[in-house]
């Protein structure tokens, strides 16, 4: 790790995340910026992919770091834009927790916005990994999760329950369990091939997903590995039992759960929807590999 003074920050902000939280939170952290004589600029998105397109463009003002304010989807657009534009090699990245899930920020270890901006201003730098996703000719990048099966369906349900705040992830999970259906999945990890019915698949770069679910307890942003979680075929009662263990991370010891760490994998099924960093986008089949320490994170 290294440190360097932060003097200019460019914020990319999603006003609609977390039921409007980013705008309120920015007013809180603005006091710290003024107190520390930090110059700042703001870009506010008006719709999906606005932040991605902004990061890809030549419109980013001179700054020491680009800071994402919103949910995990906002973080995804920012990080994906940095990687696809090639700016990740020169422009540092940071996060102020402002959404309802905040899985990325929770893995970083700070969920209070004022404390987060103070830590960012200290300028501690960490090189983190990203997952490169190939869907046919299309390449994209994820820094949090790639989800299939129930992981995708639960995210779709939670999108319809946004008015409930963070609890929507838990409610959506219970609804997903009630309506769960197993599907055939072919997972390739090096020489190992798993070809069987499954309920859920997740590839993670972070420990947490959803709201406080400790999905991959051994995950590390910078270890050059992707943490794989798969729920095999199980009864609804068994899945409820697994779900109750997610918040402690003890689900990985359940015999119906596969937990592996790999540097690449491929996923094949019948064109199923995917959850990529909290956004419902893309579909199988996909090929994924880790890109080691490709993003500079100010934490």
> What pLDDT does 162 receive?
66
> What pLDDT does 243 receive?
87
> What pLDDT does 216 receive?
97
Regarding whether 189 and 108 lie in a shared domain, the answer is no
Regarding whether 110 and 153 lie in a shared domain, the answer is no
> What pLDDT does 161 receive?
67
Which range marks the domain in which residue 168 is found? 140-286
Among 139, 155, 176, the domain-final residue is 139
Question: Is the distance from CB of 147 to CB of 201 less than 8 angstroms?
Answer: yes
Regarding whether 202 and 152 lie in a shared domain, the answer is yes
Regarding whether 208 and 163 lie in a shared domain, the answer is yes
Regarding whether 51 and 123 lie in a shared domain, the answer is yes
Please tell me the total count of domains within the chain: 2
Give the HSE-up count for residue 250: Cα atoms under 13 Å, Cβ half-sphere: 5
Residues 250 and 243: their CA atoms lie apart, in Å, by: 10
Match 């994820």 to its residue by tokens.
142
> What pLDDT does 155 receive?
74
Question: Is the distance from CB of 88 to CB of 32 less than 8 angstroms?
Answer: no
* pTM of the complete model: 0.91
Residues of the chain with pLDDT under 50: none
> What pLDDT does 257 receive?
94
Say if 294 falls within a structural domain. Answer: no
The CATH number of the domain holding residue 22 is 3.40.50.10330
For 32, the enclosing helix (H) or strand (E) is: helix 21-35
Six token digits for residue 91: 């422009």
> What pLDDT does 163 receive?
66
Regarding whether 107 and 12 lie in a shared domain, the answer is yes
Question: Is the distance from CB of 260 to CB of 228 less than 8 angstroms?
Answer: yes
């Amino acid at each position: 790790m290294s440190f360097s003074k932060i003097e200019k920050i460019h914020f990319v902000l999603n006003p609609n995340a977390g039921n409007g939280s980013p705008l309120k939170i920015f007013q809180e952290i603005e006091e710290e910026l003024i107190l520390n004589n930090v110059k700042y600029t703001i870009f506010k998105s008006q719709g999906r992919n606005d932040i991605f397109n902004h990061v890809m463009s030549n419109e980013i003002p001179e700054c020491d770091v680009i800071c994402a304010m919103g949910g995990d989807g906002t973080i995804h657009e920012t990080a994906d834009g940095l990687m696809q534009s090639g700016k990740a090699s020169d422009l540092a990245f940071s996060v102020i927790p402002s959404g309802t899930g905040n899985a990325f920020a929770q893995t970083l270890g700070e969920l209070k916005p004022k404390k987060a901006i103070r830590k960012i201003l200290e300028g501690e730098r960490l090189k983190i990994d990203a997952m490169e996703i190939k869907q046919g000719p299309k390449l994209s990048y994820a820094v949090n999760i790639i989800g299939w099966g129930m992981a995708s369906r639960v995210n779709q349900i939670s999108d319809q329950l946004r008015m409930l705040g963070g609890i929507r992830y838990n409610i959506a999970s219970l609804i997903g369990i009630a309506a769960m259906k197993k599907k055939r999945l072919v997972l390739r990890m090096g020489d190992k091939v798993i070809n069987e019915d499954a309920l859920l698949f997740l590839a993670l770069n972070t420990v947490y997903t959803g709201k406080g679910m400790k999905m991959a307890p051994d995950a590390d942003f910078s270890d050059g590995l992707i943490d794989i979680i798969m729920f095999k075929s199980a009864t609804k009662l068994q899945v409820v039992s697994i779900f109750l263990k997610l918040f402690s991370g003890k689900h990985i010891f359940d015999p119906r759960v596969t937990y592996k760490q790999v540097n690449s994998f491929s996923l094949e099924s019948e064109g199923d929807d995917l959850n990529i960093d909290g956004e419902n986008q893309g579909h199988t089949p996909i090929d994924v590999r880790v890109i080691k320490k490709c993003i500079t994170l100010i934490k």
